[in-house]
Copies of this chain bind each other. A is one copy, B any other.
Amino acid sequence: MSLSFSFEVKDTDLLGRVGVLRVGDKTLETPCLLPVIHPVNQIVPTHKLKEMGFRGLMTNSYIILSRRKEEVYRRGIHNMLGFDGIMMTDSGGYQVLEYGNLEVGYREIASFQASIGSDLAVTLDRPTGYPQSRRAAEDSVEYSLKNARATMREYRDSDTVWMGPVQGGLYVDLVTRSAVTLCKTGFEFLALGSPVQVMENYMFAELVKMIVATRKSVPYSLPLHLFGAGHPLTMALAVSLGCDTFDSASYILFARNGRYMTHAGVLRLDAMKYLPCSCPVCVKTSLKDLREADSRERTKLIATHNLYMLKEEIEACKEAIAEGRLWDLVEEKSTAHPRLHDAFVELSRHSGILVEGTPLLKDKGLMLRSVQDLERPELASAKRRLGSMMSRSSSGAILDSLWDSVPTGKGRRLVGSRSSFDTYRIHPVLGPYPAELDFIYPFTQVVAADDIEGRMSAKDAALRLMKLGYKSVKILPEGAMENTSNKVRSKRTRRGASPSLRSSSVRPRLLRHL
């Protein structure tokens, strides 16, 4: 008998998605974090994790095998650990990395994981790690693939869902080889390895490349796990690139070192003066009490706080996906560190694949406040569509350069189609576009910062129109077209000239957003 498995996608934005992972009769809403629990010394009890809303946990099969083997055979992993949700077990590959080769083979690990009732189990791998030579990286990939294929051959029908470990580290061609091979082997759920050291070294742009390489090699519908990525600042980034599940022990590892997570980064409790948090731990405990608690209690309190922070991050990602503003969330997070900014720059280079999951139509205006925003997938797909819509039907064009204050939504009629002019407006990124597209997302549903807005001059836009074959392009710098008339009147005041409401058309609908 094999455990049934499915992944249903509900909402998408960029490559991120809200989905439901079904493993037998259990479900997980993704994106989701599976806190890593220690099979022997778990400081935050599993019933507390369940109460906090965690529906899946991760633990290490190797530690159980070496320290609680008989008990787990007798009781099963769920009963032994006191958790009835989804249990994922790591292969022990991380131990291989930490302590050198261990004397277990893929068979022992696989049959053990299946017997104890793991819902999700990783085949025995060897994490590539970082830094690593090309040769060693290749070896780790081949070793992991060999075990994965053998496990799939021999244990495919066991009562667990096998996850294929993607190795290769910073060598993206090896990552690609891993991912492609695992898919061919029949894995329906992959897990990208080796991000921990990459993240510890602040190489977030490299992390982006690793995830992109994986996502490009596998079907869009395939769920992807990212090992060990439990940092509040990288969660949205990883989600935006199509990582669906995460496991992490960061909540407890950080807590042991007195490191307190916030949405803007991790702080040292020792150095803090205030608690900028309202989670159940922080509303009940003062900073002083937290500092003076005995070591185990303090660790438990900070770990619990950290878990609340991570959970908030995940929920914020889900909400951002549902509302179509995941890009904005990733950008916000990227300001926390220049290396995260580098990662955001790297992400902005991949709008070609980010369009896959980005809705063509969004409720909210598109925000442009950085050069990276000019690469937004919403604009990339608009640009693609715009190409076919730029057709000339007259010999002359009117270019209404005041794109920013077009009073859309007020029933204004555009110049009639029998006019002797085609009418265009200037979008700060897309350039001139037919005025008929005013109501089509995202032509006027844009809010641009002042230093972005003037990017395309009326002159450049006019030159672009001339290339379409127009004999004349009339630029309307201060005026506008009025209702059904062709007369050009100067009815709009230039922005900034007096303290008046600017671009009333576009901004009020965004009030709700702020």
- Which A residues fall within an 8 A CB radius of B? 11, 18, 130-132, 169-171, 200-203, 205-206, 231, 233, 259, 262-268, 271-280, 283, 308-309, 311-313, 315-316, 318-319, 322-323, 328-329, 331-332, 334-342, 345, 363, 367-370, 447-452, 499-502, 507, 510-514
Q: Which residue of B lies closest to A10 (CB)?
A: B273
Chain B nearest CB, measured from A239 CB (Å): 13
Chain B nearest CB, measured from A191 CB (Å): 21
Chain B nearest CB, measured from A304 CB (Å): 10
- A75 vs B127: C-alpha distance when bound (angstroms): 72
Chain B nearest CB, measured from A49 CB (Å): 14
Contact of A338 among B170, B259, B369 (CB under 8 A): B369
Contact A265 B514 (CB under 8 A): yes
Q: A311-B278, A319-B274, A499-B170 are in contact. Are A514 and B336 (CB under 8 A)?
A: yes
Give the residues in chain B near A510, CB-CB below 8 Å: 202, 337
Contact A332 B329 (CB under 8 A): no
Contact A231 B514 (CB under 8 A): yes
- A219 vs B450: C-alpha distance when bound (angstroms): 32
Interface-central residue, A201, A264, A323, A329, by most chain B CB under 10 Å:
A264
Q: Which residue of B lies closest to A316 (CB)?
A: B276
Q: Which residue of B lies closest to A453 (CB)?
A: B338
Q: Which residue of B lies closest to A272 (CB)?
A: B319
Give the residues in chain B near A447, CB-CB below 8 Å: 337-339
* Chain A binding surface, main DSSP class: mixed
Contact A328 B336 (CB under 8 A): yes
- A514 vs B266: C-alpha distance when bound (angstroms): 5
List, sorted by A's number, 29 A–B pairs whose CB atoms are closer than 8 Å: A132-B499, A171-B499, A205-B450, A264-B329, A265-B514, A266-B512, A272-B322, A273-B319, A274-B315, A274-B319, A276-B316, A276-B319, A278-B278, A278-B308, A280-B283, A328-B335, A332-B332, A332-B335, A335-B335, A335-B369, A337-B367, A337-B447, A337-B510, A337-B513, A338-B447, A339-B447, A340-B514, A341-B370, A345-B450
- 9 nearest interchain CB pairs? A338-B449, A276-B315, A341-B369, A276-B316, A278-B279, A170-B499, A278-B308, A341-B449, A338-B369
Interface-central residue, A18, A266, A273, A338, by most chain B CB under 10 Å:
A338
Contact B264 A332 (CB under 8 A): yes
Give the residues in chain B near A313, CB-CB below 8 Å: 276
Given A266-B514, A276-B319, 4 new contacts (CB under 8 A)? A132-B499, A170-B499, A264-B329, A274-B322
Q: Which residue of B lies closest to A503 (CB)?
A: B202
Q: A341-B449, A514-B231 are in contact. Are A499 and B169 (CB under 8 A)?
A: yes
Chain B nearest CB, measured from A345 CB (Å): 6
Contact A338 B368 (CB under 8 A): yes
Give the residues in chain B near A259, CB-CB below 8 Å: 512
Interface-central residue, A340, A449, A451, by most chain B CB under 10 Å:
A449
Give the residues in chain B near A448, CB-CB below 8 Å: 338
Contact B274 A202 (CB under 8 A): no
Chain B nearest CB, measured from A328 CB (Å): 7
Q: A266-B514, A512-B266 are in contact. Are A338 and B367 (CB under 8 A)?
A: yes
Q: Which residue of B lies closest to A29 (CB)?
A: B274
Chain B nearest CB, measured from A317 CB (Å): 8
Contact A265 B501 (CB under 8 A): no
- A291 vs B203: C-alpha distance when bound (angstroms): 42
Contact B514 A233 (CB under 8 A): yes
- A312 vs B203: C-alpha distance when bound (angstroms): 30
Q: Which residue of B lies closest to A273 (CB)?
A: B322
Q: A170-B499, A337-B367, A512-B268 are in contact. Are A312 and B342 (CB under 8 A)?
A: no
Give the residues in chain B near A328, CB-CB below 8 Å: 264, 335-336
Contact B449 A339 (CB under 8 A): yes
Contact of A499 among B206, B265, B308 (CB under 8 A): B206
Give the residues in chain B near A340, CB-CB below 8 Å: 514
Q: Which residue of B lies closest to A338 (CB)?
A: B449
Q: A266-B514, A335-B328, A512-B266 are in contact. Are A342 and B449 (CB under 8 A)?
A: yes
Give the residues in chain B near A449, CB-CB below 8 Å: 338-339, 341-342, 345
Q: Which residue of B lies closest to A448 (CB)?
A: B338
Q: Which residue of B lies closest to A281 (CB)?
A: B278
Q: A266-B514, A337-B367, A367-B338 are in contact. Are A501 and B201 (CB under 8 A)?
A: yes
- A328 vs B130: C-alpha distance when bound (angstroms): 30
Contact A336 B332 (CB under 8 A): yes
